[in-house]
Amino acid sequence: MSEKVGAEMKSIVILLGLLMTIVACQTTSTPEPNLYQRIGGQKMLHTISSQTLDSVSTDPATKRSFEGVKMATLKQSLADFLCKETGGDCVYEGETMKNSHAELAITTAEFELMVQALRDTLDANNIGTREKNELLKILAPMKRDVVTK
């Protein structure tokens, strides 16, 4: 009987050891980087902001919305906004999407051209499909605040 109890105790000790190893592995694993980190941080978001705004501010179909706008300020503001939305620690101090676009009479066609310019910029900067889709998913609901015409 004593051998049987000893064998059971040994089995329990082995099982506890395995469980502790599993728990230790789970708690010491590195968390997955957030979208901000995977995209490339503030530097890449500024590049994306700058290139996208350069594209739409010179496109005949969308440039009317950017007349008289201080582009350097807008580029920085957009980069900060994207930083905040993707999980970075930036502070966005700009207007809401609704307030900043209220007087611009943006059409669905103009909005779609902006999205395409953003997609093209993401592609040109080798942003992965997963990251591109996550970013677009974050920005898509803002259409209702941007399109006013």
- Summarize pLDDT for 101-120 with one digit per residue, the tens: 888 888 999 999 999 999 99
Q: Higher model confidence: residue 10 or residue 77? A: 77
pTM: 0.77
CB 105 within 8 A of CB 146: no
Transcribe 43-82 into DSSP letters: HHHHHHHHHHHHHHHHSTTTGGGGTT--HHHHHHHHHHHH
Q: Is the pLDDT of residue 131 over 90?
A: yes
pLDDT digits (tens, 9 = 90+) for 5-40: 566 666 676 766 666 767 665 656 788 999 999 999
| Pair 52, 118: CB distance under 8 Å | yes
